[in-house]
Amino acid sequence: MAGIRHAVVIGAGLGGLACAARLATAGVPVTVLEANGRVGGKVGGDQWDGYSVDLAPHVFSMGDAGELARVCRILDAPLQFVVRNPLAKVRLGRKEFTFPGRFDSPGDAASLVLRAGIRPSRLLGAGRHFLQMAADGPDLARLGEDTTLQDWVSRYTDDPTYHTLINLFSILAFVLPYDTTSAMEMAHCMSRMVRGPGIGYPIGGCRGLVESISRGIQRAGARVELDSPVDRIESSRGRVRGVWCRGQRVEADAVFCNAGVRRTVELVGDDAVGPAYAARARRLTVSMAGVMIRYTLDAQVIESPVLFTMPTTPATDVARRIRQGRLLEAGMGYYATVPSNFDPGLAPPGGQVVIAGTAFYPEVPARAGLEQMLLGLERRLENLYPGFADAIVRRVPTTQVHVAAASGRRITGEAVGVAQTPDQCGSGRPKRHTPVRGLYVVGADTGKGAIGTELAASSGLAAAEDAIDRS
């Protein structure tokens, strides 16, 4: 470990925490500098009068088999994922069915397609596609990196219900419509999830998870400094030299930035990384953002741990209208988690926590209006669950502005990061290392082959291991 004298991690999101965990347990001196007053980034949360409330609606696709679980094992930090089966209630128009929290056999995948209401004449094609996707089947070898998820589905079936179902999965997993999502990325993620232990949620909630990891890295010797925004990354002669934080220079020969590729370039400067790298960083497209309402209830109104809804509008029209800012015309599907249905300890006895949201492109509010979107979301919950409105104790709207503040991304507040589109996956994915020696980008922007939180954690672990190996 003589090669790394001191490492600085910018940002205590999951990518940064995972990176710090790997470095600290390898004996590297580490300082984590977090701009906010709490750790976790987008996966953080709040404590409100006995309710533990996540910042955004989260479930964890790989449970005990994922990279987050690996981080906790490295730190010997307690972690227990709860898997509920069925996981979710799904509504496609007026059709309602359940989605499993765990796939125990290929038959479970096939039965999901049946329950979705695919037309009998088109069931064979839809079933063949779903099994290919769920099993990492031989079709993947012929896909190519440039294939979108919509194009892949269309090779098997034109059934509108199945297209709507896959578009729903795409938005839930990658916060992207299926006509822009990488088919290869979806296939890898879906097959891993099907083979895994189940889609879970941590006991103690998201807030408990990230705070447990933070305590673990501090036990391993790392320093975590909150309310410590980094103003600049210093480099010279092609090598990172440290960072500037609150007017003070912090020397470091390895810096890991968890604020995204674009922000990393802003902090270190175009001259340091070179014009080609800087230009590509600015061209990168990102996932959609989200608008959410976080609720605490004094009654247990919703019985399912997760809710998904999508309109009967054809999937291609939904995708187009979302991009055009016509979200309300698209029928506005939504996604909600009920964390207290996984862990009742997250709410007082008899109470409930609900996080409900919908995805949109950041330019949409100028056309649709955030208030209209929030009102539409709330009306859907009230129509589905009589008594919901009367049970509300606290209601807090949360927009892309809040997400941007939590994640260190000044402009967009995207839900994930660099979008998992065909041109930005596989060989086109941004690399963890930068042209500046010793400077790395960690988090979802440089993760691959995973969903959301696992994307971020895997990137942080891999970047730390890269740096250790190079030292």
Are the CB atoms for 439 and 263 separated by under 8 Å? no
Element (H, E) at 112: helix 106-115
> Which pLDDT belongs to residue 326?
64
Nearest to 255 by CA among 447, 23, 1, 14: 23
Query: What is the distance between the alpha carbons of residues 27 and 457, in angstroms, rounded to a whole number?
Result: 19
Convert the pLDDT of each residue in 210-227 to its tens digit.
999 999 999 999 999 999
Q: How many residues does the chain have?
A: 471
- Which pLDDT score is estimated for 331? 55
- pLDDT score at 349: 97
Specify burial of residue 358 (Cβ count, 10 A radius: 0-12, 13-18, 19+).
buried
- DSSP assignment letter at 345: G
**What residues have CB less than 8 Å from 60, skipping those under 6 apart?**
66, 68, 81, 199, 200, 201, 202, 453, 454
**pLDDT recorded at residue 206:** 95
Phi-psi region of 78 (alpha: psi -120 to 50; beta: other; left: phi over 0): beta
Instruction: Name residues whose C-beta falls within 8 Å of residue 360's C-beta, 6 or more positions apart in sequence.
Output: 288, 289, 290, 291, 322, 327, 368, 373
Nearest to 233 by CA among 265, 259, 258, 262: 265
Q: How many CB atoms lie within 10 A of CB 195?
A: 13
- pLDDT of 366: 46
What residues pair up with 48 in beta bridges, in sequence order?
51
Structure token digits, residue 471 = 């030292």
Q: Which two tokens stand for residue 193?
A: 């999830």
What CA–CA distances, in Å, run from 67 to 145, 437, 469? 24, 26, 19
Low-confidence ranges of the chain (pLDDT < 70): 1-2, 106, 136-141, 319, 322-332, 362-370, 409-412
List, in sequence order, the alpha helices (H) in 363-443.
365-368, 370-384, 388-391, 400-407
